[in-house]
Amino acid sequence: MAGSMYPSDSFGDCSDIEAGSLVEWSFLGKTGVGLLLSAGNMERGGRKVAMAKVKKLKSSEIVEICCLVLRKHTIKTS
């Protein structure tokens, strides 16, 4: 079936955002901005999930975030 996901496929993708990019996220009502350090597939619950390591700008804390909720930060001009 076209478009089906196979168990070997990764859940999510970070290929459109490169390391060093400024990223933002929103997940369960919490938002953040940080610097993308690295991204890749990790084993979570028996399947591959695209995860990213991000250094938060406000606290310098390094967190792991699912790539599905990340987007490249864009500067808004008025």
The per-residue pLDDT of the chain, averaged, comes to: 83
pLDDT confidence of 29, banded at 50, 70, 90? Answer: confident
Q: Which of 35, 41, 42 has its CA nearest to residue 18?
A: 35
Q: Which residue has the tokens 């196979």?
A: 6
**3-class SS of residue 76:** coil
CB-neighbour burial class of residue 34 (10 A; exposed 0-12, middle 13-18, buried 19+): buried
What is the pLDDT, as a whole number, of residue 44? 79
Q: What integer is the mean pLDDT of 15-21?
A: 87
